A and B are shown apart, each in its own frame.
Chain A
Amino acid sequence: MRGAGRIVHPRFDLRWLYGSPLLVAACIAGLAATAVLARAMQALHVAGRLRTEIEIAAARLGAEAAASTYVASDGKDRQYGFDLGRGIAVDVRAEPGADSSVHLSASVNGHRLHYSFSVLAGGTPRVFGQPFTVVSGGPSLPDEWPRRPALALAELPELALDHAQLVQDSMLSLRLKRDPGIALLRLAAGTDREDFVFGSDSAEPLRLLPPASGVLVIDGNLWIDEVPRPFEVELYDDLTLVVRGNVYLGRPVRVRGPGHLTIATLCAGGVAFADRDGNGRWSEGDALRSGERFRGPVEGAGSVWFGMPREPGTALELDLGLFVAGELHVAADSAAVHGPVVLVHGVTRLPGREGNVEFTGLRLPELQRAALPGFVTVGGPRPGLLRRVPDPKQPLYAAAPNR
């Protein structure tokens, strides 16, 4: 028989399993090596991701530097390079766009990121960085109100209405419309000026689309009427409403989004007065806030009312800023204002109302890299805040292949 006397040596000896630690050790070493390699791969993956984030951060810093250099050079320098070492080099190209906007394209190691900013003539007046400011020399404020450094009359921010849009009759996009009946409904004698109502009864937030200038002028009184639910708006750009009359705020105003809503009043041919009896019109016992005699519309001008004069006291929470050229009348039991409040004259609390007002400063506008619409800017030209934008040359939808 062929091969009958041969001794077969198996390659794997079963005795190794229990007679030697080598195989067990090899298995353990293999498992350990697998675990170590898996963790190393994960760490390498994280490092790669972080590297991308670092490159994006470098692109943003490069774009910020490029924006400042662009404005400082008056738009002459348009290409910038930053060699940051470690294989990171940022190239930024600036292209002026429509109006005063500038598009920045930053490329770093194969990534291309796009930003835009506006060239601003200056910044927002500093007074809007304070929760509450009152002009010095005016009537004294209630004792329990916060003490704030007073502002000289000459330092008051000026309104710039060159590009402002005048509201003629109504603006459906803003739910702003003329309403001849609102004053007769809320005040015993009505008003002499036109009346405009701002707001919607819908429970859904109203998306406000401000005009390009960001400023709307309302030639009359502005009402945000008393309704059981708050007036909620979505605002992504700043909007300033300049009111040539009084403002009546009857319900809370909530603003969603990064935009700032500011209401500024002007006396505009009227005379500001403190309506001590709260009848909504000039009458005996009221106090004039200027040296001249009373003239103009009976409801006065430039005043802001927290709460409606003839309605029971309510609680208001206002996500807006106020520039009050006349008197601030508090007909609400309590009010919290989150934007900046600038008060030219005094405060009158209506009898029978608690009239507690809190200035939280939770929603103050950006001062240095943004210009609040409708107000004269301060300081020199500067870049506005940088915004990341999608690639303008990339189509929204991929082109379909021909069939």
Chain B
Amino acid sequence: MIRYGPSAERAAVAGLLLLCGACCLLIAWSTVRLEQANERRRAQLRLLDDLTACSLQLREGPIPSLDGLFDVSIGVVRSDSGSRLTFCGGSAGAVR
């Protein structure tokens, strides 16, 4: 018995709602991932700032906690003028 309208119309609306809900879930999931990535990048930038401020006292070698900021990794190199942060690997550091 059809009481409130054609069942096909209701089914279509329900389907659209489900689709909308699924899209919302997908967007929400992506947003959570993006927020997590933002948080990680923010922490990495903070760490990079701290390390830049005291880079002269750092130990030589790569800094794994900064991986992911760029495709190349960031590490500490030592020289006569102290330690400094630099890019490691890739085509970073090419002199033109």
Which residues does A use to contact B, with CB under 8 Å? 13, 15-16, 19-20, 22, 25-26, 29, 32-33, 36-37, 39-40, 43-44, 46-47, 50, 53-54, 57-58, 60-62, 64-65, 68-69, 73, 77, 79-86, 88, 91, 123, 366-369, 379-380, 382-383
* Known contacts A57-B48, A65-B87, A84-B71; is-contact A47 B37 (Cβ 8 Å): yes
Complex interface bits, B19-40 against A, C-beta within 8 A gives 1, otherwise 0 = 0110110011011001101100
In the assembled complex, the CB of A50 is this many whole angstroms from the nearest CB of chain B, namely: 5
Q: Which residue of A is nearest B16, CB measured?
A: A26
Q: Are B92 and A83 in contact (CB under 8 A)?
A: yes
Q: Which of A19, A25, A47, A58 contacts B17 (CB 8 A)?
A: A25
Chain B contacts for A33, CB-based, 8 A = 20, 23-24
A123 to B79, CA, bound (A): 12
Q: Which of A16, A22, A50, A382 contacts B14 (CB 8 A)?
A: A22
A47 to B30, CA, bound (A): 13
A366 to B24, CA, bound (A): 54
Query: B64 near A: Cβ within 8 Å?
Result: no
Chain A contacts for B91, CB-based, 8 A = 82-83
Q: Which of A25, A79, A83, A382 contacts B81 (CB 8 A)?
A: A382
Q: What would 11 more interface pairs be, CB under 8 Å, given A43-B35, A64-B84, A85-B71?
A: A16-B4, A33-B23, A36-B27, A39-B31, A46-B35, A68-B84, A73-B95, A83-B94, A88-B70, A367-B56, A367-B82
A12 to B81, CA, bound (A): 78
Query: B50 near A: Cβ within 8 Å?
Result: no
Within 8 A of A (CB), among B73-92: 74, 79-82, 84-87, 90-92
Q: Are B81 and A80 in contact (CB under 8 A)?
A: no
A79 to B95, CA, bound (A): 6
Q: Which residue of B is nearest A23, CB measured?
A: B13
Chain A contacts for B93, CB-based, 8 A = 65, 69, 80, 82
Interface size class of B (residues with CB under 8 A): 35 or more
Q: Are A79 and B70 in contact (CB under 8 A)?
A: no
In the assembled complex, the CB of A85 is this many whole angstroms from the nearest CB of chain B, namely: 2
Chain B contacts for A29, CB-based, 8 A = 17, 20-21, 24
A83 to B20, CA, bound (A): 41
In the assembled complex, the CB of A228 is this many whole angstroms from the nearest CB of chain B, namely: 37
Q: Are B80 and A379 in contact (CB under 8 A)?
A: yes
In the assembled complex, the CB of A117 is this many whole angstroms from the nearest CB of chain B, namely: 11
Chain B contacts for A57, CB-based, 8 A = 45, 48-49, 69
A366 to B83, CA, bound (A): 13
Q: Give the 8 A-B residue pairs with the shortest CB-CB distance, closest first.
A: A85-B71, A382-B81, A368-B82, A84-B70, A79-B96, A40-B31, A43-B34, A83-B91
* Known contacts A13-B4, A43-B35, A57-B45; is-contact A369 B92 (Cβ 8 Å): no
A356 to B56, CA, bound (A): 33
